């Protein structure tokens, strides 16, 4: 594991932010937290995280809007973006993936499985650094 791996967690629900922060820090990852979409965009530009977990429904800027802005920024375009949402309809999933999201995670989720998935993402990047 790269000790400099930075994970941005953006969710307007404090318990989701704290849960993910706890499991990621326990595993040795650095975390950056945001409570809304505008803050997520600002924190992403400052911290340049490797992976971003974005809640879909946050005021005043939704996760899909944040994703589109991140993809427009050349310094952030390769960031791995995971949308977190309570919506599980296939039409929602397709719309979100069309916004440039890498993955879609529905609530509730297993923090252990999230950590496992982060490790898989990082391993894929090590094997193929040009892909995102």
**CA 123 to the chain's CA centroid:** 17
| Residue extents of the structural domains in the chain | 6-127
CB 43 within 8 Å of CB 34 = yes
CA-nearest of 83, 60, 59 to 70 is 83
The pLDDT, as a whole number, for residue 131 is 61
pTM of the model: 0.89
- What phi and psi values does residue 83 have, to the nearest 5 degrees? -85, 135
Tallying the residues shown for the chain, one arrives at: 132
CB 73 within 8 Å of CB 65 = no
Say whether pLDDT at 90 is over 60. Answer: yes
What pLDDT, in 10s, does the model give residues 55-78?
Answer: 998 888 888 889 999 999 999 988
Which of 26-30, 38-42, 104-108 has the least mean pLDDT?
Answer: 104-108
What strand order describes the sheet that includes 80-85?
Answer: 30-34, 6-10, 51-55, 80-85, 103-106
Say whether pLDDT at 3 is over 70. Answer: no
Handedness of CA 80, 76, 10, 93 (dihedral sign): negative
CB 12 within 8 Å of CB 36 = yes
The pLDDT, as a whole number, for residue 129 is 75
Correct CATH for 6-127 of 3.40.50.300, 3.40.50.2300, 3.40.630.30, 3.30.70.260: 3.40.50.2300
For the purposes of burial, counting CB atoms within 10 Å of the CB of 102, is it exposed (0-12), middle (13-18) or buried (19 or more)? middle
């Amino acid at each position: 594991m790269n000790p400099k791996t930075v994970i941005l967690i953006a969710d307007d629900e404090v318990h989701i932010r704290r849960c993910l922060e706890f499991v990621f820090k326990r595993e040795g990852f650095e975390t950056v937290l945001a409570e809304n979409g505008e803050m997520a965009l600002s924190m992403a530009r400052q911290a340049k995280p490797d992976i971003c977990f974005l809640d879909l429904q946050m005021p005043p800027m939704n996760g899909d809007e944040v994703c589109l802005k991140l993809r427009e920024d050349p310094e952030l375009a390769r960031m791995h973006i995971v949308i977190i949402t309570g919506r599980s309809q296939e039409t929602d999933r397709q719309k979100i993936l069309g916004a440039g999201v890498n993955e879609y995670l529905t609530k509730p989720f297993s923090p252990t499985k999230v950590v496992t998935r982060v490790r898989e993402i990082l391993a894929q990047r090590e094997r193929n650094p040009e892909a995102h």
